[in-house]
């Protein structure tokens, strides 16, 4: 237990709570929790499922076939990727669970895993639980926040067993190209590395650009898997439902581990998840449109105030450089104390994030514009 990484954002929540308890009007842009309700047709499907006595019992250990078929149909429709529902799909209690489980399946004590820096902290959690070691892949602005494989030491690549990637990226909002994923498959084959692509923000691309699935690239299923969650695409963060797709041997390992942990998800939740995947996708289009309008409002206002920042191409985050003389944490503290705006310090995502703060586009355009105005007054 002592080796588990610190939950950095628990400390941030404490700070925010203090200011809110003092009665300040706090604009919280530090979270990653979708602020819109789950679409009604999905909620109705849950209610329908809850009334079905067939779901008032343990689900099949590896999930209902209808949900796996829905996930397969979703990937065929959205990405042109063909998946065997029973062999190449594992139902998950949310994407986070799959990310942590994968390290338990494939890392022994002392093994090396490659992680993006900055990156989602729960990659670290699974690696720590396995007693393995991390080697970081810096994500730099000059490389569009993609790792440069040529900069990684050959000895590290030869030893590495597992690599985590995440595009559209949290926290940098970088997006991956097809060419980058082709390079990733080639690297994984050469060095026998298992690739796990965290596709949590797969639905959220801007300016008419749809994010690329890792599995769209030839050979991707030979070297890895992709983890998809319904939390961001369908505003189902609290529902805890996702799936892993790809290499059948890796999917079998995840399923086997979960056989010993769980008896799958409540059937009504699986019924609702299938309704989300199979149903009308207008709700997704509207959600992406909402996030893009918020991005334009927030970034546009910052630029009006003279802060030259890049507009994100995907995810619902903005990754902003901090002014000279500040670390990410000192700047976040300053903005919270003086402007009562919450931003997430980049150091919470890794050492390479310490000159940035993450902003979530998870409140109204009006509040985002007000937050930009408050921050600008300080600068």
Q: What is the CATH number of the domain that holds 356?
A: 3.90.1150.10
Judge if 207 and 139 occupy the same domain. yes
Does residue 124 share a domain with residue 51? yes
Chosen domain end from 263, 278, 293: 278
pLDDT of residue 251: 98
Domain end (from 254, 278, 302): 278
229 in the same domain as 141: yes
Laid out side by side, the sheet with 356-360 consists of 317-321, 356-360, 344-345
Report if residue 329 sits inside a domain: yes
Does residue 52 sit in the same domain as residue 68?
Answer: yes
How many Cβ atoms from other residues are within 10 Å of residue 90's Cβ? Answer: 27
Q: Looking at the domain assignment, is residue 3 inside a domain? A: no
Q: How far apart are CA 154 and CA 197, in angstroms?
A: 22
Other residues' Cβ atoms within 10 Å of the Cβ of residue 214: 30
Is the same domain home to 144 and 182? yes
For residue 1, being part of any structural domain is answered with no
Instruction: Assess whether the previous peptide bond of 171 is cis (omega < 30° from 0).
Output: yes
Residues 302 and 372 in one domain: yes
Does residue 186 form part of some domain? yes
Do 163 and 267 lie in one domain? The reply is yes
Q: What is the pLDDT of residue 15?
A: 85
Closest CA to 191 of 112, 252, 123: 112
Same domain, 173 and 231: yes
Q: Please name which of 112, 107, 115, 186 lies closest in space to residue 155, comparing C-alpha atoms.
A: 112
Whether residues 296 and 172 fall in one domain: no
Statement to judge: residues 222 and 73 lie in one domain: yes
For the sheet with 224-229, list strands across it: 89-92, 242-246, 224-229, 194-198, 160-166, 112-117, 133-138
Kindly report, residue by residue over 53-103, the tens digit of the pLDDT. Answer: 999 999 999 999 999 999 999 999 999 999 999 999 999 999 999 999 999
Q: Which domain holds residue 355?
A: 8-38+282-378
What CATH number corresponds to the domain at position 169? 3.40.640.10
* Total domains in the fold of the chain: 2
| Nearby residues of 377 by Cβ (< 8 Å), 6 or more positions away | 339
312 and 186 in a common domain = no
Q: Is residue 2 part of a domain?
A: no
Residues of the chain with pLDDT under 50: none
Q: Is residue 331 part of a domain?
A: yes
Per-residue confidence (pLDDT) for residue 10, from 0 to 100:
78
Give tens-digit pLDDT for 150-164. Answer: 999 999 999 999 999
Q: Which position has the token pair 């586009």?
A: 361
Confidence at residue 14, expressed as pLDDT on a 0 to 100 scale: 85
Q: Same domain, yes or no, for 291 and 269?
A: no
Q: For 195-229, what is each residue's pLDDT tens digit? A: 999 999 999 999 999 999 999 999 999 999 999 99
Listed residues 260, 278, 296: the one ending a domain: 278
Q: pTM of this prediction?
A: 0.95
């Amino acid at each position: 237990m002592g080796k588990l990484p610190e939950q950095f954002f628990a400390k941030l929540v404490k700070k925010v709570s203090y200011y809110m308890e003092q009665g300040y009007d706090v604009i919280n842009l530090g979270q990653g929790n979708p602020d819109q309700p789950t679409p009604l047709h999905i909620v109705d499907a849950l209610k329908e499922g809850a009334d079905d006595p067939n779901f008032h019992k343990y689900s099949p250990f590896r999930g209902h076939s209808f949900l796996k078929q829905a996930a397969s149909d979703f990937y065929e429709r959205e990405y042109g990727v063909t998946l065997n529902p029973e062999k190449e799909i594992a139902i998950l209690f949310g994407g986070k669970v799959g990310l942590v489980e994968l390290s338990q399946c494939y890392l022994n004590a002392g093994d090396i895993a490659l992680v993006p820096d900055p990156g989602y902290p729960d990659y670290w959690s699974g690696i720590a639980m396995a007693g393995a070691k991390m080697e970081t892949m810096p994500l730099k602005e000059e490389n569009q926040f993609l790792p440069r494989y040529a900069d990684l030491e050959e000895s590290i690549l030869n030893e590495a067993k597992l690599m985590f990637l995440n595009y559209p990226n949290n926290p940098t909002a970088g997006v991956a190209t097809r060419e980058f994923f082709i390079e990733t498959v080639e690297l994984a084959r050469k060095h026998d590395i298992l690739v796990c692509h965290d596709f949590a923000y797969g639905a959220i691309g801007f300016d008419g650009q749809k994010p690329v699935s890792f599995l769209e690239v030839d050979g991707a299923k030979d070297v890895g898997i992709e983890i998809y969650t319904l939390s961001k695409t369908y505003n189902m963060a609290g529902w805890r439902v996702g799936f892993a797709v790809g290499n059948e041997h890796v999917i079998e390992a995840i399923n086997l581990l979960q056989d010993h942990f769980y008896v799958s998800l409540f059937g009504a939740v699986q019924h609702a998840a299938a309704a989300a995947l199979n149903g009308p996708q207008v709700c997704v289009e509207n959600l992406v449109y909402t996030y893009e309008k918020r991005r334009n409002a927030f970034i546009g206002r910052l630029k009006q105030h003279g802060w030259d920042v890049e507009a994100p191409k995907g995810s619902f985050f903005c990754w902003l450089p901090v002014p000279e003389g500040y670390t990410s944490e000192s700047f976040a503290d300053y903005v919270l104390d003086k402007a009562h705006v919450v931003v997430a310090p980049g150091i919470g995502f890794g050492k390479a994030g310490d000159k940035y703060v993450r902003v979530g586009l998870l409140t109204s355009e009006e509040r985002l514009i007000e937050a930009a105005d408050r921050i600008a007054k300080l600068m």
